[in-house]
Amino acid sequence: MAMTEEGLIEEAGRRLTAAAPDADIILFGSRARGEARPDSDLDLLVIEPDFARRGEEYGRLRKELRGLDVAIDLVIYRRREAEEWGDVPGSFLNRVLGEGRVLAGT
């Protein structure tokens, strides 16, 4: 049986929280705004205290999301990057932090 939209969101948040317990997990995009279509992807922002290599961390977190029946757009930032750019009007992080739905942290 397929998961509901809310079930997919909760499961993605749960998996990311288990993999990165100190991270802030934020849903953004059409699903956060309540404008999703059946083919909409799941846009997730993960803000971690720190990590060594972005590509490796991205791969590690993507692996945790395998098997979810939805396309996922995963974006990761270090906390210091989010603090630097989160208040800059017009920046990606400013928009996401303003419209996003917190799944964990923050």
Provide the number of structural domains found in the chain: 1
Which two tokens mark 67? Answer: 């098997």
- CA distances (Å), origin 53, targets 76, 103, 106: 11, 24, 23
Give the pLDDT confidence of 62-103 residue by residue, as tens digits: 999 999 988 999 999 999 999 998 889 999 999 999 999 999
Q: If you average pLDDT over residues 8-31, what whole number do you get? A: 94
Percentage of the residues of the chain whose pLDDT score is greater than 70: 98
| Cβ atoms within 10 Å, residue 100 | 21
Q: Residue 106: what pLDDT?
A: 73
Specify the DSSP class assigned to residue 68.
Answer: -
CATH number of the domain encompassing residue 30: 3.30.460.10
The parent domain of residue 31 ranges over 5-104
